A = this chain, B = another copy of it.
Amino acid sequence: MVDLRLIFFGTSSAIPTDKRNLSSIAIIRDGELFIFDVGEGMQKAFLKSKIGINKSTRIFITHLHGDHCLGLLGLLQTMSLSGRTKPIFIYGPHGIIKFINNNVDNLLLKLNYNILVNEIEKGIIIEEEEYIIKTCNSYHSINSKSYLFEEKERPGIFNPEKALKLRIPKGELWSLLQNGEEIKINGNKIRPEQVVANKRNGRKIGISGDTRPNKKLIDFFNGSNVLIFDSTYGDENTINAKNNKHSTSREAATIASKAKVKLLILTHFSSRYKNVDILVSQAKEVHKDVIAAYDLMDMKIVYNK
């Protein structure tokens, strides 16, 4: 089983606090690093996490508000100074190319590796053998994106006892069945599902970015193992959530519940909350499994039962 690791580098909205840096989340899978948003100060937490600076890396920006992207240039610079040689692929909404190019020009930023910046719209933006990454619009005050990291289905488990009972000789025929092909043996058809269990779902991690709750996000995040959702406010600040185009923890939980998400992780907390327990409590009134992210929270994502 491939490890799927989730790390939070920053969990505060707008203004950093003593304990929380600005938004940044990473997924690490099979040696590959996926970073979602790079708030100011992220490079320091990144160096602390000892993840290493030369991993295959893709960076996704949800939107071009400073608290979500102003750490990007420092991170790129530090990776270069620390000896990175591999290219970095960057994805974000329209405007990200100009943001990066202008700063590279104005700061005479010289990197020892290539950066390839992509302005994205919606749908699948990355498809690899074992996973895809999708994006859709979120519902914030500017053009903003949500992301979904989704492992593809894994083949079902082959049952050698059933195969032997059906007198299928070990070898090439087993492989054909495992690969989903029908075979014939002594004139009898054998279908793969007779010896191979159902395909197993991969793991899904959804990242809302800054957003109001919205029906379309329920579809987008449907069935996620983990949903990381904008929970800037608690019930008493519902009006601020509406005005500033964010969500309360209860609204996050409502989306999680309707999308049949397993674990909801609250993040992007307003700096007014010294303690976010109340936000977790309010969310738990709607959804069973809820935790609050904290800086350098580091967890393994397991398969849904």
Partner of A67, one of B17, B18, B65, B74: B74
Write out the residue numbers on chain B whose beta carbons fall within 8 Å of the beta carbon of A107: 64-66, 69-70, 99
Looking across the interface, which residue of chain B has its beta carbon closest to that of A108? B142
Given known pairs A47-B16, A106-B102, the reply for A73 and B66 (CB within 8 Å) is yes
Q: Which residues between 69 and 83 of chain A lie within 8 Å of chain B, taking CB atoms?
A: 69-71, 73-74, 77-78, 81-82
Question: A169: CB under 8 A from chain B?
Answer: no
Report the stretch among A37-45, A124-132, A201-209 that lies at the interface: A37-45
Indicate if the CB atoms of A43 and B40 lie closer than 8 Å.
Answer: yes
Write out the residue numbers on chain B whose beta carbons fall within 8 Å of the beta carbon of A108: 64-65, 142
Given known pairs A64-B107, A69-B107, A70-B70, the reply for A15 and B99 (CB within 8 Å) is no
Question: A180: CB under 8 A from chain B?
Answer: no
Q: How far is the CB of A129 from chain B (nearest CB, A)?
A: 35
Write out the residue numbers on chain B whose beta carbons fall within 8 Å of the beta carbon of A41: 40-41, 44
Indicate if the CB atoms of A14 and B81 lie closer than 8 Å.
Answer: yes
Q: How many chain copies does the complex carry?
A: 2
Q: How far is the CB of A122 from chain B (nearest CB, A)?
A: 21
Q: How far is the CB of A81 from chain B (nearest CB, A)?
A: 6
Indicate if the CB atoms of A81 and B15 lie closer than 8 Å.
Answer: yes
Question: A103: CB under 8 A from chain B?
Answer: yes
Question: A95: CB under 8 A from chain B?
Answer: yes
Distance, CA A63 to CA B44, complexed state (A): 22
Indicate if the CB atoms of A74 and B81 lie closer than 8 Å.
Answer: no
Q: How far is the CB of A285 from chain B (nearest CB, A)?
A: 30
Write out the residue numbers on chain B whose beta carbons fall within 8 Å of the beta carbon of A99: 103, 106-107
Q: How far is the CB of A215 from chain B (nearest CB, A)?
A: 27
Question: A216: CB under 8 A from chain B?
Answer: no
Given known pairs A102-B103, A106-B95, the reply for A44 and B67 (CB within 8 Å) is no
Write out the residue numbers on chain B whose beta carbons fall within 8 Å of the beta carbon of A18: 48
Question: A98: CB under 8 A from chain B?
Answer: yes
Looking across the interface, which residue of chain B has its beta carbon closest to that of A99? B106
Inter-chain pairs besides A21-B44, A66-B74, A99-B107, 16 sampled, C-beta below 8 Å: A15-B82, A16-B44, A16-B78, A40-B40, A40-B41, A40-B43, A41-B41, A41-B44, A64-B106, A65-B108, A66-B73, A67-B74, A67-B77, A70-B73, A99-B103, A102-B103
| 11 A-B pairs (CB sep. < 8 Å) | A18-B48, A21-B44, A22-B74, A40-B43, A40-B71, A41-B41, A64-B108, A65-B107, A66-B74, A67-B74, A103-B103
